[in-house]
Amino acid sequence: MPKPIESKLAPAPAPATNGHDVAEAEIPPPPMEPFADPPRAEWVGTQSGMPLPLMLLGMQAILIASFLALGVAEKSSPETSSDDKFEQMYNYYIGVALMMFVGFGYLRSFLQSYGQGAVGLTMLATCIGIEVYVVVDEFLTGGALVINIATLLQANYAVAAFLISFGALIGKISPKQIVVLVVLESIFYGTNKFVVEHYFGLNDIGGTVVVHMFGAYYGLTIAYVLGAPSAAAAANFISSKVSDVFSLLGTVVLWVYWPSFVAGMAPAGTPDTELQVVQTVLSLAAATFVTFAVSSLVSPEGNLKPVVIQNATLAGGVSIGILSSTPLTAAGALTVGSVAGALSTFGFAKVKPLLEKHGLHDTCGIHNLHGMPAILGALLSVLIGFVPGSAFSPLAQLNGMLITLVMAVGTGALSAYAMMLFGDAAPRGLDASYWEVANAGERLSA
């Protein structure tokens, strides 16, 4: 009997990229060694500073003491004084909370080995941000502290900025650094919002400037200062079909509830809220329409890039926010969304690779989803300000945008250096660095 011929397989070719500048796991990875203690022990002993449990428990104790010292007034504000207004505000709160916990969390779960970190640490950052921002806002604005639905809704808007910043840093910072990020950004976000709205008269009903623009460029500055992952760690920043589907689930949740995010910033019971909802939906629809077209157009293979569909379809919501209470007509809202979707798609195709060549590693592409569309919306508000009868002052809108950019970059740099004090040597881009994982086959790459 002839001897069987042994099969010698050639190494698997490098998988194609999916648009995140990371590989899509079309080809099964080679067998991995079971996760063992020795590799983890190489870095676990290098962690320094205050342990995470002590940091979290200490912060919670400080926050409880702060609420006691502030003397919370257990009463409703005029914004929620009637049952109808409370129901409206509560519905907006539910929508915005779902965006924070589910939408942002799952949108960032595209990394196949960082799903627990994306969703779980988003949950942690949201809860820390809500508590910290309520205290920070009280110190900035003064007066009696009232805790109600409106208070929690405003805290969630602040959290949105924090999670946008976190998007540029997903997989690259430790849980302790996330805590530092949220605490510092609470202070700087609140300060910027107070300054541009109260001293410069910025009209930003949908948070295009104070939330999206500030969060994006604050996070991008930190990402630049901290630096890109090492070549070995970069291999962990890969996606798969499953992780891309979960990320797309986050996109859908954000898409559906985005109108609540925009309309919730208006006082309860005002007639503008319906206009804001309608124009936001139209802008999102147009952005989605155009994103599918342009994504295929700019792709060398003519296919759809997961990263583009996951993100650029939402760009219309970013740009329309600041304009949402201005009657643009249906055609105007569709135009804003179309331009925003095309701009965001172009950013993923051309701008993101260019920035990475210059040392700016933006994990989730927040510059393309939040940064550039926010600038577009802000500039449109400046132009509309020249129309007689407009609610915008061109100078106030321009000053608000420029001050926000300066504040975001300046405070982002300071925050990055503070965060460096809380870093560790854990491998980046892996849940196994900080989580107990069900599949213990993840490799830890430095």
Can you list the domains of the chain with their CATH numbers? 85-425 (1.10.3430.10)
Pure H helices in 322-366: 329-346, 352-357, 366
**Strand, helix or coil at 133?**
helix
Print pLDDT tens along the chain (446 aa): 444 444 444 444 444 445 555 444 444 444 433 333 334 433 433 455 789 999 999 999 999 999 888 876 555 555 555 667 888 889 999 999 999 999 999 999 999 999 999 999 999 999 999 999 999 998 888 767 788 888 999 999 999 999 999 999 999 999 999 999 999 999 999 999 999 999 999 999 999 999 999 999 999 999 999 999 888 888 889 899 999 999 999 999 999 999 999 998 887 777 788 999 999 999 999 999 999 999 999 888 889 999 999 999 999 999 999 999 999 999 999 999 999 999 999 999 999 999 999 999 999 999 999 999 999 999 999 999 999 999 999 999 999 999 999 999 999 999 999 999 999 989 999 999 999 988 655 445 44
Place of tokens 């690259």: 172
The Cα–Cα gap between 274 and 284 comes to: 15
Count Cβ atoms below 10 Å from residue 300 Cβ, excluding itself.
Answer: 6
Enter the pTM of the model.
Answer: 0.87
The Cα–Cα gap between 312 and 28 comes to: 29
- Cβ contact 208:369 at 8 Å: no
DSSP designation for 2? P
**Which helix (DSSP H) or strand (DSSP E) does residue 290 occupy?**
helix 272-298
The Cα–Cα gap between 412 and 416 comes to: 6
